[in-house]
Homo-oligomer: A and B are copies of this chain.
Amino acid sequence: MHDVAHGPHIEGHFESSESVRDIVIGLSDGLTVPFALAAGLSGAVASSHIVVLAGLAEIAAGSIAMGLGGYLAARGDAEHYASERIREEREVIERTKDEEEEISEIFEQYSVDRVSAGPVLAALKQNPKAWVDFMMRFELGLEEPSPNRAHRSALTIAGSYIAGGIIPLLPYMLVADDLTALKLSVLITLLALAIFGALKGKLVGTGWLRSSLQTVTIGGAAAAVAYLLARLLNHRA
């Protein structure tokens, strides 16, 4: 969920598409949190019925929170880009000297002096649209978000969260014996986390084995702590 967006990559290294990133965001949490909650609760309450209820309530809450959150974040990005763009468009006309100065300062950070940067500035001034494009990317570090990103992002994240969250609950729905359901849930979810982690690692280029171990560790740690905490509190109560 907390992946930080990288800028564009031109050299043919891996560039994750926005949809893939949204699927990864939704699946990471969806496979982890409902799983840990179900495992935790089954350590404290004997009834599969309550585990399933709590799990489904969590999936509903989590998918809505993440989906709406993703929607608002994407819409916020688009609005931010649009308002900054209008501002830059105005500034290259009304405060031309200041904007020229800013270009010189950008280049000075890379020890390119004013004289060397001069021809670039002159070329940008020939083409105000390119100048604004240049300022958006090199002064403000902003990329133009793709249109309709907000809706797609919300649905992809929420759908992935639901798909991931259902997996650990299936055994509690289908198997009568509570302990067997817990064991099966742990087994299939850790397997799903391992496969998901490996695919994610291959995609992002961190190495499939390491990524797989990481996702299994996060899910396993969250479930183990939730389980121990729920048992402890239940014995105390």
Binding site for B on A (CB under 8 A): 1-11, 13, 25, 28-29, 32-33, 35-37, 40-41, 44-45, 49-50, 52-54, 56-58, 60-62, 64-66, 68-70, 72-74, 76-77, 79-80, 84, 102, 105, 107, 109-113, 115-120, 122-124, 126-127, 130-131, 133-134, 138-143, 153, 157, 204, 206, 214, 217-219, 221-223, 225-227, 229-230, 233-234, 237
Contact = CB atoms under 8 A, between A and B. Distances in A.
Given A7-B140, A120-B117, A206-B76, A225 B2 contact: no
A40 B28 contact: no
Task: Name A's interface SS.
Answer: helix
Given A7-B7, A123-B116, A32 B65 contact: yes
B140 A111 contact: no
B126 A120 contact: no
Given A60-B36, A218-B72, A66 B1 contact: yes
25 contacts: A1-B69, A2-B69, A7-B140, A7-B141, A9-B141, A10-B102, A10-B105, A10-B140, A13-B84, A29-B69, A35-B61, A40-B60, A52-B233, A57-B226, A61-B222, A64-B221, A79-B206, A110-B124, A110-B127, A110-B131, A112-B120, A112-B123, A112-B124, A119-B119, A141-B143
